[in-house]
Amino acid sequence: MRAQKEFSLTLVTLKPDRKGKTKQVWYYRRSDDPNRRKKTTGVIGKRNRWQAEVYVRKILAEEHEQEAKTLASPTLREYAEPFFIEGSCPHIARLRQEQKSMGANHIKKSRKWLEDHIFTDAIAEKPITEIKRGDLFDFRGRLLDKLEGKRNTVDKIMSTVKTIFLEAWNRDDILSNPAYRVGLVHKKIHHGAFTAEEIQKLFPVDGLGSWPDQETYAIFLLAATSGMRWGELRALAWRQIDLDAGTILVNRAYKAASNELGLPKWNKTRTTFLTPKAAAALRTLRKKRQVGLVFCDSRGRPHAYKWWNGGFHTAMAKAGFSQKARTERNLKPHSFRASTNTILLDQGANPAKVRAALG
């Protein structure tokens, strides 16, 4: 028995163009199309029928391949089951191969979002190849209702979803990434910054100003003048500092609030320079200890975030920055890093060099 043809070809003569010239184009019609619509192959000329056939067969082959993938496609739950588990997560494995890092705290939280909010939603039972951008918008809407408008949390959950789909797309497990252009619902508030005059007032040459001790004065002065992050300052060791050259090699950092030591953000090391005032403050601090961590407790352990945040707000209150003023300007410990960036750019520094110095 003769097999039914999948398509038919028709040579169509198009209307003359402005110069009066006509051309013949091959169109095709699929046998399984109930509407019997004709579509162009873009192939011109009666002798080029074979090119039109090749074009159509390629399209049909790609469609058959996609249909086969859809039939065998795992659900989102099945595909995402190994994610954010050490030893089984394909995303973490790829990051490690590329010498990139993902903190233990981030992994733990991402797994919690996955189990508590993604696996419990109907979207988890849908084949991953059939999930469209609209499905993700609908899922995001259900999250907003479920979490009563906690937009920051919704963004974190959606970020977890986007990581899974991006990894699937990178591995060619899906043909397109439906999570692309699914934006955030929480407006990001940028950290406020201090003015150059406020920095001068907070860190006087003679005395500690509003800071309770030499260590607190030195760490925040370094934050304000070098732009180093809290995790980098927390991990700073004396061997990284060259007081004679006036430089610091920023080559390690503690991740978030954990004691996991690794490379700085973006896995990039850099050299930053000390101002004379910062170098003098470190020389004074070095009289107390010359090895190990620069900033630590009496047992040599790195300070906790509570020490860093508490020291900042206590000093700000003493310096005359009220709670209301700090809230309105969004002044936080990280504001010193933002201040470094703003002040350098205002002074005409090269933006590329500022980015390189701040990491």
Over the stretch 13-24, which tens digit does the pLDDT of each residue have?
A: 988 888 888 899
CB 26 within 8 A of CB 41: yes
pLDDT digits (tens, 9 = 90+) for 202-219: 999 889 999 999 999 999
Region 263-275: what's the mean pLDDT?
86
Sequence-separated contacts (24+) of 293-302 with Cβ below 8 Å = 293/235, 293/236, 293/237, 293/238, 294/218, 294/219, 294/233, 294/236, 294/237, 294/238, 294/241, 295/215, 295/218, 295/219, 295/233, 295/234, 295/236, 302/234, 302/235, 302/254, 302/259
User: What pLDDT does residue 20 have?
Assistant: 87
In three-state secondary structure terms, 97 is: helix
Read off the pLDDT of each residue in 125-152 and give the average, rounded to a whole number.
Answer: 93
Residue 332 pLDDT greater than 60, yes or no: yes
Q: What is the pLDDT of residues 244-257, one digit of tens each?
A: 999 999 999 997 65
Q: Report pTM.
A: 0.60
